Structure 1
Amino acid sequence: MDRDTRAETVAVVGMGAVGTALAGALAAAGHDVVACGRRPLDRIEVTDGTGADAVTSTYPVRWVATPDDVGAAALTVLATKIHDTPAVADWLAALTAHGGHVVAAQNGVDHVERIGPLVTAEVVPALVYTNVERTGLGAVRTRRTDRDLVVPDTASAEPAVALLEGTRLAVERSADFRTAAWRKMLTNVSANPITALTGRRVEVLTEQPVAELAMRVLREAVAVGRAEGAHLDDADAREVLAWLQALAPGSTTSMLQDREAGRPLEHDGLTATVVRLGDRHGIDVAANRSLLALLSAVSP
């Protein structure tokens, strides 16, 4: 293990791209990782980087098929898409029957409100910045950024945060998590819809007409975030777009991967949230509303 952290049993619900990447990091740190889901897995494969510099590592996991087969876990990682959360309520109830912590590695800005009623555990939101691409069942490719996870800097989250910090992940603590969540929301409501609708990876955001559209989307989301209590301004919109444009070539988004695979898109928890809250606060969100209409039309 990278740090002096006692090995724990960690259950991962949602073994998609993000869930598999986090499972790999936790297994590499010596934890007993339980993969929860329908498809059998006894090992996972994580490739860091691309080309000649890529390094592939394989880690063992324990697979359980139903909530009846799993006991309580010290830590549960929830890595499903927002709209799939209700479908795993039985898993969450079983895993948190005796308390513990749930790391909600999901998009959105309402992790605690959305997941809290489903568990008897402390919900710790985690904003995922690592760019992860699923390459097969139990296999992912990661493109590391300047940070991997952003988590709340609170005493109640400490046990889960300490466990995550004992891995190879770069974990950043935020004292103003509301603002941090909205900053992450900015990346999601711009890059996700535009890549999914164009069928192209993040390089599309460097093209001038697309960049101008992304900036309109971002400025609307900044206004909504400020109305919701986040400390954001126009500089945040510019910085987020610049960060997205500087991502490694070939970086993808979760929504583009879902569209390519014919899966439902996560627009209701992202773009629709900006539109709904914008309407509540009387903010013009025309660009986000247009993207939402198109996403609704193409989502299975």
Structure 2
Amino acid sequence: MLENPRIALVGPGAIGTTIAAALHEVGRTPTVCGRTAHPQLILRHDEGRIVVPGPVLTDPADIKQPFDLVFVAVKTTQLDDSAAWLAALCDENTVVCALQNGVEQKTQFAPYVSGATVLPSVVWFPAQREPDASVWLRGKPRLTLPDTPETSRVLAALQGTRCEVDLSADFLSVAWRKLLQNAVAGLMVLTGRRAGMFRRADISELALVYLRECLAVARAEGATLSDDVPQEIVNHFQRYPIDLGTSILADRQAGRPMEWDIRNGVVQRYGRKQGIATPLSDLIVPLLAAGSDGPG
């Protein structure tokens, strides 16, 4: 166990700001790295707000030595742009906690982290960027991590913070369950609507059919998930505030590239590998890809 580990965070968006604020609140303020030199980060929550002092570093040349623990909260569409940060922050002794969607974090990060250990995570809290650049945390923050020795570094960093950490001996299944939730959220992009749309009977039925297709692929990839999972996920969306969005919808509305491949395309790709028909994915994925990347 390291005493007073050096902690950095790349990507102070909604998820990154939440983690930075949780660490700052208990006196473990990380070095924050990003594209914009914000003077501070502000997290709003039910009890008030947390202000993380800045500035956010914007030049990787300011990093003079590797860090012990690096949280990375950039989207996969921004990973190439973060290469210089990761090269400066990481060496073979670093643990990189990937706060990203999908089930492919280890292979995605491997070319960038100078031999560091990549620790995937599943993020279970809704947080959204507000127009004033603050972040609104709309649920209790919680992460799920694989139960491995490297996880101890993240556990120690987040111990006593408002961010709960669960360990899973079957992380593959947990990651695929979250991927199913992310995949069906892609329907929000195609309608331009928020979580309230899942209260429509026709949308909830479409979501169930799509989720069952995703479930078949997840099981073929080794996930242990019950037949009840699709209905549980739809029920979850129906309980959300009707105005709650999702990061992929925010990207679409802002005209930014979307994470369509690691949230939805992955089901189609792995389905083809496993010989599983994915008719809904074959419709949804091209629409999301065109909405993200064009042309037109």
Structure 2-normalised TM-score? 0.92
Aligned to 1:16: 13
Which residue of 219, 222, 238 corresponds with 1:226?
219
Read off the aligned partner of 1:195 and give its amino acid letter.
Answer: M
1:215-274 deviation per Cα after TM superposition (whole angstroms, max 9, x unaligned): 111111111011101102321112122122222342210101111111111101111110
The letter for the 1-side match of 2:36 is: R
Partners of 1:281 and 1:165 in 2: how far apart?
40
After TM superposition, give the deviation of residue 8 of structure 1 in Å.
Answer: 4.1
Q: Following the alignment from structure 1 to structure 2, what is the Cα–Cα distance between the partners of residues 136 and 77? A: 24
Paired with 1:111 and 1:185, the residues of 2 have a C-alpha distance of 12
Q: How many residues align?
A: 290
Q: Structure 1: state its 5+ residue gaps.
A: none
Determine the structure 1 residue equivalent to 2:245: 252
- Displacement of 1:26: 1.4
Pairing 1:124–2:119 present: yes
- Asked if 1:81 corresponds to 2:78, the answer is no
Contact residue 75 and residue 100 of structure 2 kept, 8 A: yes
Tell me the residue number matched to 2:137.
142
Letter aligned with residue 127 of structure 1: V
Q: Is the 8 A contact 2:13 2:73 kept in 1?
A: yes
Name 1:41's counterpart in structure 2. 38
Q: CA deviation at 1:162?
A: 2.4
Checking the alignment, whether the CA contact within 8 Å between 2:197 and 2:242 is kept in structure 1 is: no
Q: In the alignment, is the contact (CA less than 8 A) between 2:10 and 2:71 conserved in 1?
A: yes
Residue aligning to 2:256: 263
Asked if 1:91 is matched to 2:88, the reply is no
* Distance (Å, rounded) in 2 between the aligned partners of 1:73 and 1:58: 23
Aligned to 1:207: 200
Farther off after superposition, 250-259 or 27-36: 27-36
| Alpha-carbon distance between aligned partners in 2 of 1:98 and 1:280, rounded to the nearest angstrom | 33
CA distance in 2, matches of 1:32, 1:57: 12
Matched, 1:170 2:167: no
Report the equivalent of 1:100.
Answer: 94
| 3-state SS of 1:181 partner | helix
Q: Which amino acid aligns with 2:70?
A: T
Alignment partners' CA distance in 1, 2:27 and 2:106: 28
RMSD: 1.8
Instruction: Tell me, in whole angstroms, the C-alpha distance in 2 between the residues paired with 1:275 and 1:266.
Output: 14
Stretch of structure 1 that moved more, 134-143 or 178-187? 134-143
- Are the counterparts in 2 of residues 32 and 61 from structure 1 also a CA contact under 8 Å? no
Q: 1:251 to 1:68 in 2, by over 3 A?
A: same
The answer on whether the counterparts of 1:107 and 1:127 sit within 8 Å (CA) in structure 2 is: yes
Distance 1:214 1:165, change over 3 A: farther
Amino acid at match of 1:33: P
Find the counterpart in structure 2 of residue 276 from structure 1: 269
1:153–1:174 CA contact under 8 A, matched in 2: yes
2:52 to 41, 59, 67: 59
Instruction: Check conservation: 1:23, 1:33, Cα contact below 8 A.
Output: yes
User: Aligned residue for 2:286?
Assistant: 293
**Which residue type is aligned with residue 217 of structure 2?**
V
CA distance in 2, matches of 1:80, 1:122: 17
The whole-number CA distance in structure 2 between the counterparts of 1:12 and 1:156 is 17
- Structure 1 residues 168-193: Cα deviation after superposition (integer angstroms, max 9, x where no partner): 112111110000100100110001x1
Structure 2 Cα separation of the partners of residues 202 and 269 of structure 1: 21
Provide the C-alpha distance between the structure 2 equivalents of 1:65 and 1:36, rounded to a whole number of angstroms. Answer: 6
- Whether the aligned pair in 1 keeps the contact of 2:28 and 2:157 (CA below 8 Å) is no
- CA drift of 1:97 comes to 2.7
Query: How far off its partner does 1:11 sit?
Result: 1.4
Q: Is 1:69 equivalent to 2:62 in the alignment?
A: yes
Amino acid at match of 1:92: L
Structure-1 residue corresponding to 2:28 = 31
- What is the TM-score of this pair, normalised by structure 1? 0.91
Q: 1:7 to 1:199 in 2, by over 3 A?
A: farther
Matched, 1:240 2:233: yes
CA separation of 1:11 and 1:78: change in aligned 2, threshold 3 A: same
Is the 2:95–2:150 Cα contact (8 Å) retained in structure 1? no
- How far apart are residue 137 of structure 1 and its match? 6.1
The reply on whether 1:153 has 2:153 as its aligned counterpart is no
